[in-house]
Amino acid sequence: MNPVARIFYTLRSILFLIGQVVITVFFSATGVLISPFVSPYNNGRYFVVGNWLIIKWLRVCCGVRLKIEGQMPSPKAPFVVMANHQSQWETFFLQWYLFPVATVLKKELLSIPFFGTALKTMKSIGIDRDNPRASIRQIMEEGVDRISNNYNLLIFPEGTRMPPGQFGNFARGGAGISIKADVPIIPIAHNAGRCWPAKSHVIQPGLITVVVGEPIYPEGREAKQLTQDVAEWIKQQCERIG
């Protein structure tokens, strides 16, 4: 990237981040105010509108476009959704696209002012990554509970954001929940890190492609094999879309 382009993209990224903060604070603050008067489901829907606006604002400010291949089965809930993790972008997009959805994430995010409030309202599951054994139990118990209440469950099985073309180890928690709750897994692959890299605040214009796979049913599979099937599909799709 030449210096002039980098400066231009940086300025646009700063403008986007300002708008992102304003949208997050507004929807979180007003969401707390209206929460006593609406059902938790409707309040979650209210926060999701903020995520949708962030995606739209990103396109206006930074020229980040979206293409979706495939679609979620109907009705949308409940499924275990397993996706690769490259960026902040997919957290905003998938919480809107998969609604109603509970997301498994690190518990520190729940403590962020305003943003953490929205995550709690959307029934997110905050885990302690320094205590893997307790986290596995928590994900299993709370994940099955969310599914029983007709929420999709969103898991990033790599556990952390990875650069495009690289993958972390896929944890088996999502597969375990799929087996225990007897619901299929929907695999999702994307290349959001091409436009919004994990360790950079400079957002580049481009097309983010999201691929929604066919349901993978748990019958006859153990968690290890089910996880491998999901990981192989995601890796193949990421290689295809670049």
Scored b (16 or more CB within 10 A) or e, 83-108 reads bbbbbbbbbbbbbbbbbbbbbbbebe
Q: Quick one: average pLDDT of 155-167? A: 95
CA dist 126 and 143 (Å) reads: 11
**Per-position b or e across 158-181, b if 16+ CB within 10 A of its CB:** bbebbebeebeebbbbbbbbbbeb
Q: What is the H or E stretch that residue 10 is in?
A: helix 3-34
* SS3 of residue 163 by DSSP: coil
* Cβ–Cβ < 8 Å for 185, 226: yes
Residues 115-124 pLDDT 10s: 787 788 888 9
- Decide: residue 201, CB within 10 A, 0-12 exposed, 13-18 middle, 19+ buried: exposed
In the 8-state DSSP scheme, what is residue 107? G
Residue 44 pLDDT: 85
Q: Please, which residues have CB within 8 angstroms of residue 236's CB and are 6 or more apart in sequence? A: none
Q: What are phi and psi of 53, to 5 degrees?
A: -65, -35
The predicted pLDDT at position 47 comes to 87
Average pLDDT over residues 147-156: 95
What would the mean pLDDT of 170-184 be, rounded to a whole number? 95
Residue 75 tokens, joined: 């009705």
Res 168: pLDDT: 96
Stretch 182-206: mean pLDDT: 95
**pLDDT(225) > 80:** yes
- When the pLDDT of each residue in the chain is averaged and rounded to a whole number, the result is 92
Tell me the per-residue pLDDT of 65-79, one tens digit each, with 9 for 90 and over. 999 999 999 877 799
Q: Which residue has the higher pLDDT, 47 or 23?
A: 23
Q: pLDDT band for 4, please (50, 70, 90 cuts).
A: confident
| pTM: predicted TM-score of the whole model, two decimal places | 0.93
